[in-house]
Each structure stands twice: as C-alpha cells, then as structure tokens.
Structure 1
Amino acid sequence: MPFGGNKLDVPDPLVITVCAGPDTVDRLNHAMRRRAWQSEVSTYTSYISPDKRPYFAPLIKSAEVCVAFVDFSRSAEEAVETAQYLTQMFSGKITVVALAKSKDPAKILTAMRSGCSEFLETPLQEDPLNDLFDRLERQWLSTHFKEPQTGTVVSLFGTKGGVGTTTLAVHLAVFLSQSQKKRVLLIDHVPELGHVSVYLGMDGRRSQFNEVVKNVNRLDSQLLHGLVGRHPMGLHVLSSPDICGVRPMDSDALAKALEFLRSEYDYVVVDCDIRQEAHNMPVIAASQRLYLVSTQDVASLRNLSRYIDRFTLLDAAVERIEIALNRVSDLDPTLVEQVEKAVKLPINLRVPNAYAELTKTTNLGEPIMPGAKSPLAARFAKWAETVAGTTHAETATKRLKPLLSLWR
C-alpha cells in the first residue's frame, strides 16, 4: 500500500514528462490516482533548453514540489540539457527522473551528472514506480512539514588588511566547536588566496567554497560531506581558491548555498574581504551577526567609521553590526572610550594585544587551544560563550535604542 494517499500528509506534486510516450504518461496518471494526488501529468513532447523552453513561470510559482520524467532514449544530449535546465528553473523543489529502455551504466552516469537523482526503465513497471513515489513522499514529509533547523551565520569584515580578521574568525570557529560543542563550518570568503586553511595548517585545495556554490542545485548532506575539509578540532572548513583570476560567484547561488549550510550547522563563520561589496551582499543578508574588525591605529579607525556609514545604508544591516577592536593595549594613546565616541557604536569585543603569540600560532598552523593559560584563550572562550548564549533578538533589542540615536 502506498505510503501517501492522505492529502494532509504530503503536498500535491507537479508531475511533468519530457519526450515520454503515451504509455508512460498513462502509467504515471494511474499511479498518481492511486495516491489521491490532485494533479495530472503535464506532458512536453520536445526537449527543453534555454533556447527552447515553455512558459514555466506559473508552474514554478504554484508548485511546492515537482517530479520530472525525462526520456533519454530519443536523444541523450538533449535530455542532458533538459535535466540541467529543469534543475535550475525549479531549484530546490524538483526531482528529475531519467527514463531509458535499459539500465546502461554509461547512460545512468550521464543522467546523474546532468542532475537526475533517479533512473527507471521503460516501459514503467508498477513496483519500481511505487517504490520511487514512496521514497519521494517520505522525503517531502520530512522536509516540507518539519520545522527547518536554522543555524547562525556570523560574518567578519576587516576595516583594512592586517587587522587580524582571519585570526579572529579562525579562533571563534575553533572555540565554538571545542568549548561550546557546536557544529561549526568556517568559510573563507576571500575571492582568492585566502588564509584560513594556512592558519589552520590544512590543505584546502579539495575543500573550496566556490565548489559548494557551483553545485548548489544538487547540494545535499551527502554531497556536502564530500566537499568540506575537516580539522582535528572538530570544525569543518571551506577554503578560498588558491589561484588567481577566479570568476566571481553567482549571487543567487551563493544565497541558496548559505541557506542550505544554515540547515546543516549550528554556526557558519564567514571570513570576508570587506572591499568586495558585490561578493559580500548575500553574506551580509544571511548574517545574524556582522563583526567589523579594527585596530586602534588612525587608518583603521577612519576606515571603521566610513564602513559603518556604508553598512547603515544596507537594508536591515545596521542593527546586526558589532565592533571588534583587536590588539587593544592600555599603552595605546587612543582609549577604547574615545573610539566608541568617534564611531557612535559600542565596542562589543576587545582582544588584548598578543601579536607575537598569534604570529607564532598562525605560522605553525596551530590555533590557540581552549583551556590554554593565556589572556587570549580566556577572551576567545568568553567571546564564543557570548555568541552561543545570546540570541540575535536579545542583542538587537539591547542595541537598537542607542543605534536609533544616530538619526536624531
């Protein structure tokens, strides 16, 4: 007996066929009626591509989930193009099923690479088709009606090079993973030649963030498992490309990737290059906490003030800004209170000056360990505790009143 059959259990799927014969359409309609799905097969007699496409907009908007059956027997090349196009158009809500007269391993591999996640022989048989629909209904039931887990995205932006942004991002991720026992992903979002993997003593060539973004339309937990790097301290890492001349990421794909990663981790820590605004906009939109990292030198503080002005122009960004002042020393002529007065925002994190200690750890690729007897370790532990223990709603409520005074 089919798993579904109750309209309250699963959404009614949109089912389409591409270049499938009348017998296939009849068998699909019969199987759908047995499940009490309130829909019929939509048929397309020609292969689909960006140059030869029907008007999909109403279907995409109305469909909660979709299943597409694409026949690879007539033209494997055009079927591949069709599967890729459908996967892109119905991103996140479609299962593409390849149809063929025999289970040829080469054809199955081609179909899988084009975005198909299932393969059925024609003519369709009742048992394999019912097994497929059972699996899909279980999947829809677990994902469509279950409250999605939403992790926290924490992004860090340095006001200029050399203020220690990567060092802070690395240690926040390490301490969230070790001290707070959280599932943590650390992303190096510098467009090229970032240093996160270097500071962690890892080879990041096989675990690059841009590969996750490029594969977002077929991204799932299993694929992600094969793309991330793993550090001995428990955190997962996605690196920056270690070559020059990398093409920019697609903004929509980047936003989708971050949304998926939030469902997989408690915390996603992102090390960003503040100068790449277009590159950073999806990260800014996805972040619950945004740290602007500065030191106490005049150049950094001037940049900090300018970037605060810039961030206030970005929609809903200002209430999420937090200021991290790195290498703070009582001997510095610029006191913390003067900095707060100058930038009109409180300093949320003050990291003591331990340049020599941090230089050694980064050169060795060995971050400071939680529990180490040093002022830095104590400060990082407290920071991780604050990030893990204070919700965004709590911090936003406390900080909104002084921020509003900027416009009075």
Structure 2
Amino acid sequence: MSNVLRLAIVDPNDTSRNALKSMLLGMDVVWLEAECSRYEFFADVIGQTKPDIGVISIDSNPEKGLKLIEQIHISAPDCALLVVSSSSDGQTILRAMRAGAKEFLTQPIRVEDLLHALDRIGSQKFGAGEGRTRSCHVIAVAGATGGVGTTSLAVNLGCVLAAEPRNSVVLVDLDLSLGDADVFLDTIPDYTLVDVAQNISRLDFTLLKRSLTKHSSGLYLLPRPVQLQDTALITPDDLTRVLGLLKASFTHMILDLSKGYTPADFVALKSAKDILLVTQLDLPCLRNVVRLMMSFGETEGLKDKVKIVVNRVGLDTGSISVKKAQETMGREIYWQLPNDYRTMVEVRNNGVPLIEQAPRASITQAVVTLAEALGAEEKTKEAEPAAAGAGKSGGGWLSFLSGKGKPKGSK
C-alpha cells in the first residue's frame, strides 16, 4: 500500500521488543518488514530488506547501539533511523542524533509521540505533500442545542463512511451521561469508554479494537459509560490518549459531543479536523450558534474548523429563511439536511442506519453527499468555501447511494 511505511526493528530485550511490535502491528500506517534480536545482524537485515525506517533500541548496550546507528547511516543512507531508549540523558540523545538518528523516543513510548515521529520521517523522506503516512480524518459533531439531530448525523455519517472498503471508521459517544449512539445501532456493547480510559496504560492496538463494538455496517463504536457515576472517571488526559490510539488505528473518527461543552468535549473539538455544528432554522438555535462561535474564537484555530450544518430544512413551522439565518450567524451554511421525520423515526426505533433502511431517501442522499464533500476537502487539503447545501454527488465512491439529484432542500 502506497501510504504504508516499511519498518525493521532491533532490540535484544525480548520484553521491550515485543511491546514495540504490539504497538507497531496495530498501526495501519506501517508495515513491520523485519525484526532482529542482535545488534551484530541488523545491518545485514537492513541491507536485505531495505526498509523505509530502522528502529533501534539502544538500552541493552548503548555503545553498541550508537555504533550501529553510525554504521547504518553510512551503509544505508536512505533508511531513516528512529532510536528508542529509556534514557533521557541529553548527551545520549545528542550522540544518537550526531550518529545519524532522525528521531529519538524515550521509553515508555507514547503512541502520540510515535505517530508524530513517523509523520515527520514520512515528510522528510517523501516530501511534505507526498508523505506516505496517512492521517486520521477526525470529525466532531456538535449541536447548537439538544434535540437538533447530532447523534443521528454522527451515526449515519459514520455508517456511510464505513461503506467504503478502504475506510476504517470509529464512532466515539462523548455524551457521557445520556448518549444513545448504541441505541441507534441496536447494539449492546461489552465495553465502554470508561473501560478503555481506565486501562489505557495497558492497552495496545489489538486489545483496543477488541474493546470496540463492530456494527454490521463496518462502523466501530466506543459508547458512553453505563453508570452515570462513571463519567467522572474519564479525565481529559485519559481521553486524549484514547483518541490518540484510535487515530492511529482508523482512517476516520467521528466524535459525537454532548450539549454541555464539557472539558471532554473541548478535547474532542481540539482533536478534530472538521467540526460540524448542527443547528435548525429557529432563533434559539441561531443565537446559540453565535454564542458558541464567540466561545470557540477564544481558542486558537477552533473557530476556523467549524462547518454549519442545518438540519430539518423544509419543516413547515414558520422557520427562518436560509438567507436570514446566515445573516444572523454571520457565517455561511455549509450543508443542509432535509426534514424527513418519518424516515428518521423509523431508523432510530429499528436501530438500522439510513443507508440500510432507506438508501434512496432524500435525507440519506444528503448525508452521502456530505461525506463526499468532506472527503474531497480532506484529499485536496484545501478549504473550499461551500454555499448553502452545495453538495456534489458526482461519480465518487458513494454515488451508488446518491441518485442523480441534489438532496431535497439544497440549492
């Protein structure tokens, strides 16, 4: 796969080598080409397998390890060297970098640090625009108030993305007290977010995936805690680490936020590449959007990630017009989802996603084309301004669900 970095590792210590292997094997952005337990043989392993990255743990014999770094740097200059050690001594780090190491990580390795190191090596090796490591597209779904359809959008967007075989998608329910993503998917999970957070220091990628519930659509779910009192057990630091592990394991992560905008919600907002702020065309919702945007503006970069999604467009209750809504919010509407109350009630009560229950419904088409638009932006890395409801069904991988026309309520 063109987006995978090939690695070879050496570590004479079986325990630490196996721990490193477990971490690497769970990442779909790397391929473990070879492993070695002797420093003496590793240069030959590099010469034969020609990996992109050589990972060298120097704890067993720092002097031998440092000499090995220098040897490989000379004999295989195309192989980027990543050094691992339990020592944080500045002199050791300096010697390793002078010998030819590109990155130095301190044991125990944090998955976030490893990912950043791999990204930097990929950018240096292949160019910033052509680095082969693939990042996770994190989408936070937030609401202007309760009951506007954030969970409906989060679940169905996740199922639509999971319909593409190349994608691996996880949904995290961050409404820690009253979340119901599991109900929308008609699942009874064995483990919840609190189980994962409480065991984060002992989890590897394999155990993490076993802790998730997989829906028939291919979507993985990490639900909210069962007991209300357990919500206090999930700290922002624990959640940051959980999200870091998930980002290394999946191509897409959907974060379904609560309406309380708690510290956990702000961890999610900061982690996201896109924030879908769901609202309706009524004055209380629109005023809350203005309030939220003012609050987001206090955190650098947060406001720029927000995309306004209007739900239940066409609801005949004297709704405010799209033009007036945009004037009130001071922002353009990124996407419109049509009002289809009967279909949404059916899918929620049956625990079946839209793409299975009503693949040709206008609301399904709107979610499909929203997924395509977000994917297109992620691919090009360009923030293209979108007019209200300006979905493009095109010939993308979701066009089999899109139909020929735009979603009802789009312009």
Matched, 1:291 2:264: no
Partner of 2:395: none
Cα distance in 1, alignment partners of residues 355 and 229 from structure 2:
35
Partner of 1:260: 245
Partner of 2:104: 64
Partner of 2:110: 91
Does the 8 Å contact 1:349/1:383 carry over to 2? yes
Identity %: 20
Change (3 A) 1:354 1:3: farther
Deviations 1:64-122, CA, capped at 9 Å, x for gaps: 3456xxxxxxxxxxxxxxxxxxx5xx53499xxxxxxxxxxxxxxxxxxxxxxxxxxxx
SS in 2 for 1:391: helix
Partner of 2:24: none
Cα distance in 2, alignment partners of residues 207 and 171 from structure 1:
22
Partner of 2:336: 350
Partner of 1:36: 67
Q: Which runs of 5+ in 2 are unaligned?
A: 1-37, 47-51, 71-85, 94-102, 123-131, 387-411
Bigger shift: residues 174-183 or 232-241: 174-183
Does the 8 Å contact 1:193/1:243 carry over to 2? no
One-letter code of the match for 2:270? A
CA displacement at 1:210 relative to structure 2: 2.9
One-letter code of the match for 2:337? V
Change (3 A) 1:92 1:60: farther
Report matched runs for 1:310-321 at 5 Å: 310-321=295-306
CA displacement at 1:346 relative to structure 2: 0.9
Change (3 A) 1:311 1:142: closer
Matched, 1:325 2:344: no
Change (3 A) 1:315 1:272: same
Partner of 1:210: 194
Deviations 1:313-344, CA, capped at 9 Å, x for gaps: 11111111000111111644310111111101
Partner of 1:373: 360
CA displacement at 1:259 relative to structure 2: 2.4
SS in 2 for 1:36: helix
Cα distance in 2, alignment partners of residues 353 and 259 from structure 1:
36
> Normalising by structure 1, what TM-score?
0.65
CA displacement at 1:13 relative to structure 2: 3.5
Partner of 2:373: 386
Superposition RMSD on alpha carbons, in Å? Answer: 3.5
> Normalising by structure 2, what TM-score?
0.65
Partner of 1:243: 227
One-letter code of the match for 1:33? K
Partner of 2:400: none
Structure showing greater Rg = 1
One-letter code of the match for 2:324? Q
One-letter code of the match for 2:326? E
Partner of 1:137: none
Report matched runs for 1:54-203 at 5 Å: 62=93, 64-66=104-106, 87=108, 91-92=110-111, 148-178=133-163, 182-203=167-188
Does the 8 Å contact 1:207/1:237 carry over to 2? no
